[in-house]
Amino acid sequence: MEADVLIVGAGPAGLACALRLAQRASAQPGVLDLENVSVLEKGREVGAHLLSGAVMDPRALRELLPGFEKEAPLDSPVTSDAVYFFTQGAQVKFPVTPPFFHNSGNYIVSLNRLGKWLGRKVEETGITIFTETAGMEVLYDEGGNVRGVRSDDKGLDRDRRPKENYQPGSDLHAKVTVFAEGTRGSLAKQLCADKGLARQSNPMTYALGVKELWELPEGRLEAGSVAHTMGWPLAAEQYGGGWVYGLRDRLVSLGLVVGLDYRNPLFDPHDAFQRWKTHPFLRRLLEGGRMIKYGAKTISEGGYFSMPELSTGGALIVGDSGGFLNSQRLKGIHLAIKSGMMAADTVFDALAAGDCSAQRLAACRKSFEASWAHEELWKVRNFHQAFEHGLVGGIFHAGLQMVTGGRGLYARYGAEAGHRRYVKLTERPRGQPSRVAPDGKLTFDKVTDVYHSAAKHDENQPPHLLIHDADICNNRCIREFGNPCQYFCPAAVYEMVEKDGRQQIHLNPSNCVHCKTCDIMDPYEIITWVPPEGGGGPNYENL
Amino acid sequence: MPDAILTVIEQQAGKLNRMSLETLAAAQAIGHDLGREVEAVIPGSGISELAGQVPAPKVYAIEHPLLEPYTPDGYSIALRQAIEHLRPWLVLLPHTYQVRDFASKLAASLERGFVPDCIGYKVENGELVLTRQLFQGKMNADVAFAGQPPYFASIQAGAYRADQLATVSPAVERIDVRLEPTQVRSRPGERFQEAKQTVDLTQAEVIVAVGRGIKEQENLSLAQGLCEALHAEMAASRPICDNGWLPMERQIGSSGQTVSPKLYLALGISGAIQHLVGMKNSRVIVAINKDQNAPIFEVADYGIVGNLFDVVPPLVEEIKKVKT
Amino acid sequence: MNIVVCIKQVPAKDSTLRPSQDGTWIRETDISYEINEPDAYALEAALRLKEQHGGSVVVLSAGPARAQTVIREALAKGADRAIHLDDEAFVGLDAYNTARLLWLGLKGEQFDLLLTGLQSDDLGLAQTGVVLAELLGLPHATIIMDVQPAGGRVTVKRELEAGWFQMVEMPMPAVLTIQSGLAKLRYAALMGIKKAKTKEIRRITKADLNWNHAEWTNRCVIRRVYVPQKTKQTQFLTGTPKEVAARLVEKLKFEARAL
């Protein structure tokens, strides 16, 4: 199939790109036929794999769709902001909310619902969104420029043999391909490796957000109330914190964000989240409530210096895949949307000029640097890295950065990829950390939570978590790091089971919620996450 | 007599269908609560002797050579005439494959609705309200009739017990119906059995399900023995099907089948929520697991904390004893 | 051969189901929908028959605007055109009336076979196809695993209880209700998804049917819908394996009456 523009991923970045292309095409006819713009989405429907807290800065959406407030599915405008510091049994409210946590003028949204709405608007323009279609491989032409993407094979069994309804993937060619796969995009990863796009950048660092949606008794929490927590149960040297957002209809979005650069290989982010809920403040909040949905997703937190080059011949990278996220404000939706819009302008101008060369597409960098997105990301360019050595140091550096326009102590703070920071078991105190025993009412085990993510995959398909050498898992990792995959995966995909007299790694791929933590955090870099057959994965309805 | 509850009795190869007797029990319960007589009707050819075995005070035998073998045209037309003649208040049928084939056609020919697969009933303000399952057992619905009788409904297998029926010798009355060969449009062949390619666990009355506790594939034979003793279908939790020890059609749970059989035995299944949602509405649940904290016990009626390899063999013996 | 397939959009199996405000149905906001699974198999059967014998496949669906998603998916898989009965007035019809509505929607259509799924995953009434057959005056068969048309007649394989089957033969046109699993469902090809956007979906509203509401009273009325509550008291049986086995069988036979 031939197209003019191929967008991989129907998240806020990809959909904003599509919408902006449609706007340009209608303002300037004759350049782009929207029939020749395709969006690929691996989820069963648009929004199925979109997960965020989320408090959205409306700035970018206002640019893209003025008057969006009238029809966008916004849950509530933010009515109050608070930051708490948790200790084990108590909490201290910050007397002054730090400026980056000021949310007045912002909206609490469900990214899933926002995505669905944007998706409908895209389809109204005549652009086709191919759901249940995953991009598996980046295609290049003889000149080494990106030519498109190969879509997933359908109907293969777990031994990769064709089933009765086998349908091979298609080579989808386009003049320009926009990679909008979100956090740790598998194609973006391939592209950056093939074309060296991350050579000059810091390694991208990530955090994992683990979220639940609860229904509370009437009047418990005001819609629009925003609270963030720091401290317990995260240790001083850990990056992260929790959030509690009051929604309409007695719903509350809550979760814990944990930096994926912790030292203890036995640390379990899902367990930390369950523990966090047992804090008296939250226990009281959730008393009598009911957990209705669960999800987990990583966040590209590296910031400005971790962003790869955003373009190469035939391709652009947008959204989380490009690192468009403000880790200080914990906001990425507006930056994703803006990056999609800028990419669309670059692409449209290139098509109008009949020139989609690498130099032409590099214009997106210039437009980024001239935009408020750049201004915002530049100011927080060293934020996440400030916390390399823990909370106290982090607060010091972050504070310093705020008064120095983002510079802080060093022009560019160093950063180390998260998976390199584990301390070996031999160098740590012995024994397992204590884990929360789930009570099924306030706290839940991973398997129960995964059920509430509606994660579903056709069982009889090739495993999509490729472990390049299971011997390392069973013989080396077990001694050196204790198989952290069984702890860092928030979906109980990885298990060590007793088989043939010893512990061996066992996978439950159909639990996968596509968070990408394993691709990021396995200490030997031997796990590669590839998209499973399109349509599989969680269904983050209303999350 | 008019305004009675007329139970449609199914027969096959000279034998009364057990579900029909359960339906008769349901009819009796409803009849008792609403002050209605209970009668039965049995369509077929050469079935007058069989009619005499139906434990209802009054049995109508619809005799016609074209009613054997069963066809939906034959049964609908014949029963319609019988109903127009007998003018019952409620026509109650067993929810068999056969009834699913013709009952709504029969009701529609009289411009009536049909409430199928009921698991119980209530009386509300003197009115009959039937309970049936929606969303594969995840929810129940209470349904009432509107408009004029006769009303049509069918009863789910095992919802009522046939052994509660009093032994009664019926007065049998023959009903003649007009049925022409041209009216019977389908030509059924002989029934035959096949090792089923796809299993429909949702129709099984007894299911034995195995989980990780079965440990090795060879041990499935233990569960198989229990299946045979109980005339049950074998099923499994996801890990067993994942390993390829049982085909995926036998998987129970959110990514497999949802069932609500009369009896469900869970052997070595821990009871993760993904599995529970596929079977928790089973009528009677028995769980055998080594771990007393296994969540399966939260939905079990009877729990045995123990080693399934120790418990299942004597269980098979005991079952064989009562089944003979 | 010309085939009509009736398809229904139902709540997705993994959706959180909660009773609505008035308790007579489920809360329909914010849940996902999908094609009724047996209907997907009916469509697959129809598409295979078209591939073997030529002709056309028309999909027919009664449902609100959101049902267009499953209609488009059917067109993407290879159905030729669609008829969509979509009107406020059509909401909440019982099984008999729904079949009547579909019957009206079919007026003017010529077909050799009309296929439906054997029942729907939401209500599970299993009547649409059978009542349609009665209204159309056509022969029918239910729970069908295989369809072989030849010379104006069709031979089908009917599923019966407990692993038994039966072949049945009848003249066409005929109505068949299809069992899940009769074949592997095909995926919609990307080209198919694109082409589906230009295929015809004819919308029928009550105005097109000279609708007289008085003629459409339901005969079966849902009073309430609820989650079945089970007050479960688990009885733990203890003793030696032999004792426990004997006790369990006794309980199952006399107390639970499950044996």
Amino acid at B124: E
Of C14, C183, C184, the CB nearest to A454: C14
What is the DSSP secondary-structure string of C82-140?
Answer: EEEE--GGGTT--HHHHHHHHHHHTTT---SEEEEESS-TTT----HHHHHHHHHT--E
* Residue B190 forms part of a structural domain: no
Query: How close C50 gets to chain A, by Cα (Å)?
Result: 16
Asked if the model's pLDDT at residue C211 lies above 70, the reply is yes
The answer to whether residues B137 and B224 belong to one domain is no
CA distance B180 to A190: 73
Please name which of B257, B136, B270, B297 lies closest in space to residue B210, comparing C-alpha atoms. B270
Contacts of B258 in chain A (CB under 8 A): none
d(CA C259, CA C255): 10
Which position has the higher pLDDT, C87 or A1?
Answer: C87
Contact B159, B261 (CB under 8 A): no
Whether B20 and B164 map to the same domain: the answer is yes
Tell me the C-alpha to C-alpha distance, in Å, between residue C107 and each of B157, C71, C103: 38, 19, 7
Any bridge partners for residue A378, and if so which? none
Q: B84 and B57 in one domain? A: yes
The last residue of one of the domains, among B129, B151, B183, is: B183
pTM above 0.90, yes or no: yes
Q: How many domains does chain B have?
A: 2
B132: closest CA of chain A, how far (Å): 26
- How confident is the model over B153-176, as pLDDT tens digits? 999 988 888 877 878 889 999 999
Coarse DSSP helix, strand, coil percentages of chain B, rounded to the nearest 5 percent: 35, 30, 35
Q: Is the pLDDT of residue B196 over 70?
A: no
Q: Which domain holds residue B297?
A: 201-323
Domains in chain A, start-ordered, CATH in brackets? 2-55+115-201+308-379 (3.50.50.60), 383-412 (no CATH)
Say whether B277 and A459 touch across the interface (CB within 8 A). no
- Do both B215 and B176 map to the same domain? no
Residue type, B307: N
Q: Which two tokens stand for residue A302?
A: 């590296």
Residue A412 has pLDDT above 90, yes or no: no
Q: Domain check: are B244 and B309 in the same one?
A: yes
* Spatial separation of the C-alpha atoms in residues C58 and B272, rounded to whole Å: 43
CB C39 within 8 A of CB C117: yes
Which pLDDT score, from 0 to 100, does residue B198 have?
Answer: 63
A460 min Cα distance to partner chain C (Å) = 13
**Shared-domain flag, residues B11 and B122:** yes
For the segment(s) C2-216, the CATH number from 3.30.1600.10, 3.40.50.620, 3.90.25.10, 3.40.50.720 is 3.40.50.620
Residues B13 and B149 in one domain: yes
Contact B186 C181 (CB under 8 A): no
Chain B contact for A448 (CB, 8 A cutoff) = yes
pLDDT digits (tens, 9 = 90+) for C167-177: 999 999 999 99
| DSSP code of residue A355 | -
Q: What is the pLDDT of chain A when averaged over all its residues? A: 94
> Above 80 in pLDDT, residue A331?
yes
Mean pLDDT value of segment B88-117: 97
pLDDT at A4 over 80: yes
DSSP H stretches of helix in A28-83: 59-64
A326-352 mean pLDDT: 96
Which amino acid is located at A316 in the chain?
L
Can you tell me whether residue A488 is helix, strand or coil?
A: helix
Which of these, C94, C82, C159, A491, lies nearest to B272 by C-alpha position?
A491
Alpha carbons B202 and B207: distance in angstroms, whole number: 10
Mutate to test the interface with C, among B139, B320, B321 (most CBs of C within 10 A): B139
Of B134, B281, B323, nearest to C123 by CB-CB distance is B134
Q: Are A315 and A309 in contact (CB under 8 A)?
A: no
Nearest CA among C148, C176, C154, C170 for reference residue B186 = C170
Task: Specify the 3-state DSSP secondary structure of A475.
Answer: helix
pLDDT at C212 over 90: yes
pLDDT at C259: 82
Of the three residues B156, B183, B210, the one that is the final residue of a domain is B183
The pLDDT of residue B96 is above 90: yes
Give the position of tokens 């729907």: C120
User: C128-138: per-residue pLDDT in tens?
Assistant: 999 999 999 99
Amino acid letter, residue B179:
L
Q: Determine contact, residues A129/A123, Cβ cutoff 8 Å.
A: yes
Which has more confidence, C45 or A412? Answer: C45
B193 found inside a domain? no
Residue A353, Cβ neighbours under 10 Å: how many? 12
Percent of chain B with pLDDT over 70: 99
SS3 per-residue string spanning A291-344: EEEEEEEEEECCCHHHCCCCEECCEEECHHHHCCCECCCCECHHHHHHHHHHHH
Q: How confident is the model at residue B320 (pLDDT cuts 50, 70, 90)?
A: very high
Same domain assignment for residues B73 and B117: yes
Q: Which of C187, C193, C194 to mutate to test the interface with A (most CBs of A within 10 A)?
A: C187
Residue B317 in any domain: the answer is yes
A450 to chain B: closest CA residue: B274
For residue C37, what are the contacts with CB-CB under 8 A and spacing of at least 6? C117, C121, C180
Contact C184 A165 (CB under 8 A): yes
In a domain, B194, yes or no: no
* Percent of chain C with pLDDT strictly greater than 70: 99
Chain C residues whose beta carbon lies within 8 Å of the beta carbon of residue A112? none
Looking at the fold, whether B13 and B66 belong to one and the same domain comes out as yes
Q: Measured in Å, how far apart are chain C's first and last C-alpha atoms?
A: 50
Q: pLDDT band at residue B283, thresholds of 50, 70 and 90?
A: confident
What separation in angstroms does the CA of C74 have from each of B295, C1, C159, C195? 41, 18, 25, 11
- DSSP per-residue letters across C200-254: -EEEE-GGGGT--GGGG--SEEEEEEEPPP----PEEP-SSHHHHHHHHHHIIII
Question: A332: left (phi > 0), else alpha (psi -120 to 50), else beta?
Answer: alpha
Mean pLDDT calculated for residue range A512-529: 96
Tell me what percent of chain A is helix, strand and coil, each rounded to the nearest 5: 30, 25, 45
Note whether B160 and B11 are same-domain residues.
yes
Number of cross-chain residue pairs from A and C with Cβ atoms under 8 Å apart:
43
Terminal CA-CA length for chain B? 40
Confidence of residue B190 (pLDDT cuts 50, 70, 90): very high
Last residue of a domain, one of B148, B183, B218: B183
Q: CA angle, corner B153, sides to B152 and B155, nearest 5?
A: 155
Cis before C64? omega within 30: no
Residues of C with Cβ-Cβ distance to A456 under 8 angstroms: 14
Q: What pLDDT shows up at residue A395? A: 80
For residue A428, count CB atoms less than 10 angstroms from its CB and return exposed for 0-12, middle for 13-18, buried for 19 or more: middle
Asked whether the beta carbons of residue C30 and residue A155 sit closer than 8 angstroms, the reply is no
Contacts with A39 (C-beta within 8 Å, 6 or more apart), sequence order:
A6, A7, A8, A9, A10, A14, A15, A18, A122, A127, A128, A129, A130
Residues of chain C with CATH 3.40.50.620: 2-216
Query: Cα angle vertex A206, ends A393, A411, to 5°?
Result: 50
Mean pLDDT (chain C) is: 94
CATH code for position B206: 3.40.50.1220
Kindly state whether residues B298 and B151 are assigned to the same domain.
no
A29: confidence class by pLDDT, cuts 50, 70, 90: very high
Residue A255 has pLDDT above 70, yes or no: yes
Residues B148 and B17 in one domain: yes
- CB < 8 Å to A155, chain C: 184, 187
Residues of A (492-531) whose Cβ lies below 8 Å from B: 508, 510
Q: How far is the first Cα of chain A from the last one, in angstroms, to the nearest whole number?
A: 34
What's the pLDDT score for residue C217?
95
Structural domain includes residue B70: yes
Furthest-apart CA atoms within chain B: distance in Å: 65
pLDDT score recorded for residue A182: 97
Q: Residue A488: its pLDDT value, please?
A: 97
CB within 8 Å: B255 and A510 = yes
Q: The domain spanning residue B45 has which CATH number? A: 3.40.50.620
